[in-house]
Amino acid sequence: MKKIMWFFGAVSVIGTLFMMKYLPDTVPMHFDSQWKVDRWGSKYELFLLPVIMLVGCLLFTVMLGFMNKRSQDPSEGRESVATKVNAKSLARLGAAMMAFFTVMQGGILYMCYKSGPDTVTAPFDLGRLLCIMMGLLFIVMGNITSKTKENGLIGIRTSFTRYNEVTWRKSNFFGGIALMIAGALSVVIGLIIKDSIISMSVAVGLLILATAISLIYAYKIYLSEKKSGKSDLGTD
């Protein structure tokens, strides 16, 4: 997955370099709520996202290196197994995020390519693409969340979800499913609703709703475990 992550980072940079000769010197750089151009800028500003992606790839690689080293440490005992599982989850998350940003960069480049000096509104509805890609990312993140082991980096991390192993497992499994449902609905909404402002607003609303429901459920599990007298097994 680490190689896939870097692959998408490289594709974003190479694709942007390739498009430079086909783009005008000045391209649309920002749009208002009605997708009307409200700022123009140099085409070289389009390298900002690819550079951020490469920095992100580097950070993910450093974290994965640390986690893999920890998972091979005999002194970690049972924790080494959890760290190994979480390292794989983090790698999948990194690859998914880079794929998301690569597609978005492609959409931005296409939009700039289709724009001309007389362009007033966006020639390509980037908002709908963003809604669909967000939905797919939610699905991947939900799948990862539902399988992650207790840690301080990935998943639903609160004092009550980390109370013990049961609260973590049940809370994150439920939260992961809720996030996947929100993601699937966001994809459908992005496909059928033509107004990108409405589709994006609904997608964000679904994410907030999934998060709120997951936290309420997690707190109920915490209260149940605390009432049963189970010991606190949370880690720092």
Same domain, 115 and 130: no
Q: Which of 124, 157, 191 is the last residue of a domain?
A: 124
| Residue 166: burial class (beta carbons within 10 Å; 0-12, 13-18, 19+) | middle
Average pLDDT of the residues in 123-146: 89
Q: Is the pLDDT of residue 123 over 70?
A: yes
Among all chains, which residue has been given the structure tokens 């989850």?
89
Same domain, 59 and 119: yes
Q: Which of 124, 140, 169 is the last residue of a domain?
A: 124
Same domain, 117 and 59: yes
Tens of pLDDT, residue by residue over 165-221, are 899 999 999 999 999 999 999 999 999 988 888 888 999 999 999 999 999 999 999
User: What's residue 228's pLDDT?
Assistant: 82
Residue 123 exposure: Cα atoms within 13 Å on the Cβ side: 16
User: Could you tell me the residue range of the domain that residue 34 belongs to?
Assistant: 1-124
User: What's residue 65's pLDDT?
Assistant: 86
Among all chains, which residue has been given the structure tokens 């005992």?
77
Q: How far apart are CA 145 and CA 177, in angstroms?
A: 8
Number of structural domains in the chain: 2
Comparing C-alpha atoms, which of 190, 183, 121 is closest to residue 146? Answer: 183
Same domain, 140 and 100: no
Q: Which of 108, 124, 140 is the last residue of a domain?
A: 124
Average pLDDT of the residues in 3-13: 94
Same domain, 141 and 214: yes
Same domain, 17 and 101: yes
Average pLDDT of the residues in 110-121: 81
The count of residues in the chain is: 236
- DSSP-assigned beta bridge partners for residue 37: 31
Q: Is the pLDDT of residue 72 over 90?
A: no
Average pLDDT of the residues in 109-122: 81
User: What's residue 230's pLDDT?
Assistant: 61
Q: Is the pLDDT of residue 235 over 50?
A: no
Maximum average pLDDT range among 11-20, 23-32, 145-154 = 11-20
3-state secondary structure the chain: CHHHHHHHHHHHHHHHHHHHHHCCCEEEEEECCCCEEEEEEEHHHHHHHHHHHHHHHHHHHHHHHHHHHHHCCHHHCHHHHHHHHHHHHHHHHHHHHHHHHHHHHHHHHHHHHHCCCCCCECCCCHHHHHHHHHHHHHHHHHHHHHHCCCCCCCCCCCCCCCCCHHHHHHHHHHHHHHHHHHHHHHHHHHHHCCCHHHHHHHHHHHHHHHHHHHHHHHHHHHHHHHHCCCCCCCCC
Same domain, 189 and 172: yes
Please compute Rg for the chain using Cα positions. 21
Same domain, 105 and 163: no
Prediction pTM value:
0.81
Same domain, 207 and 143: yes
Same domain, 9 and 111: yes
User: What's residue 36's pLDDT?
Assistant: 80
The residue with greater pLDDT, 152 or 78, is: 152
Same domain, 168 and 104: no
The residue with greater pLDDT, 23 or 234, is: 23
Same domain, 18 and 88: yes
